[in-house]
Amino acid sequence: MQAALCMLFATLCVNGVSTSPLKSFQAGGNLASPDDVNILMYGVVQFSESLHHIYQSTEAKLARVMKAISRTESEVKRLGHDTEEAAQTERQIKEKLQLIQAQMKALKNQVQENRGTVTKVELEEAELKKKLTSLEENLNNSIPDMIKGPALKNISILKDLMKWTQEQKLKLENQNQQLADLQKQNMV
């Protein structure tokens, strides 16, 4: 629009139009010819059509930009939501991992306790076998036949005790095996 006004002003200046229309009329000055006015009007029409075209293309570009911004905002929201879900999943995994680690620690402690118990039982069994063997030898060598009856009964009781001890040992070994299997399952 400013260009049209500048063009109009330049045309008026070239044709010698004075600052006051009355002075130019009184002075008998030349008015702009109809061809000049037509050319000027044609230029104004062309200029307004160009402005209209620029307005429409700018409006279309703004619509595309706004659509792109809208898509970008929805993508950012989706990524934010995905990030929140990933963080929540990570927290859940960490909690489960801590729980599994605590269970593993408890199982290891129980295995160590059972190993200690098995070792203690094995030592007691070996000691009992040693004592039993020693008692049998002492009995056979030093006690007369009439006293041997109750001693043999005691030896039988000791053998039963050793048998029971062996069964307990087997139970403990089975429990250790079950614990080891549980540990393997938790590691997977």
Burial of 98 (0-12, 13-18, 19+ CB in 10 A): exposed
The pLDDT of residue 29 is 58
pTM for this prediction: 0.40
On whether residue 50 sits in a domain, the answer given is yes
pLDDT by position in tens, the chain (length 188): 566 666 666 676 666 555 545 444 444 557 888 898 899 899 999 999 999 999 999 999 999 999 999 999 999 999 999 999 999 999 999 999 898 888 888 888 888 888 888 888 888 888 888 888 887 777 677 656 556 667 677 778 888 888 888 888 888 888 888 888 887 777 76
The pLDDT of residue 12 is 64
Residues 11-66: tens digit of each pLDDT? 766 665 555 454 444 445 578 888 988 998 999 999 999 999 999 999 999 999 99
On whether residue 117 sits in a domain, the answer given is yes
Please, which residues have CB within 8 angstroms of residue 151's CB and are 6 or more apart in sequence? 135, 139, 143
The pLDDT of residue 14 is 65
Query: Do the Cβ atoms of 169 and 120 come closer than 8 Å?
Result: no
On whether residue 177 sits in a domain, the answer given is yes
Q: For tokens 């076998």, what's the residue?
A: 129
Domain count, the chain: 1
Report d(CA 109, CA 119) in Å as an integer. 15
On whether residue 82 sits in a domain, the answer given is yes
The pLDDT of residue 90 is 94
The pLDDT of residue 24 is 47
Query: Do the Cβ atoms of 29 and 16 come closer than 8 Å?
Result: yes
Note down the domain range covering 183: 33-187
On whether residue 55 sits in a domain, the answer given is yes
On whether residue 17 sits in a domain, the answer given is no
49-55-58-59 Cα dihedral, nearest 10 degrees: -130
On whether residue 176 sits in a domain, the answer given is yes
Q: For tokens 């729980």, what's the residue?
A: 99
Closest by CA to 167, choosing from 132, 123, 134, 125, is 125
On whether residue 178 sits in a domain, the answer given is yes
The pLDDT of residue 91 is 94
The tokens of 170 are what?
């087997």
| Cβ count near 184 (within 10 Å) | 9
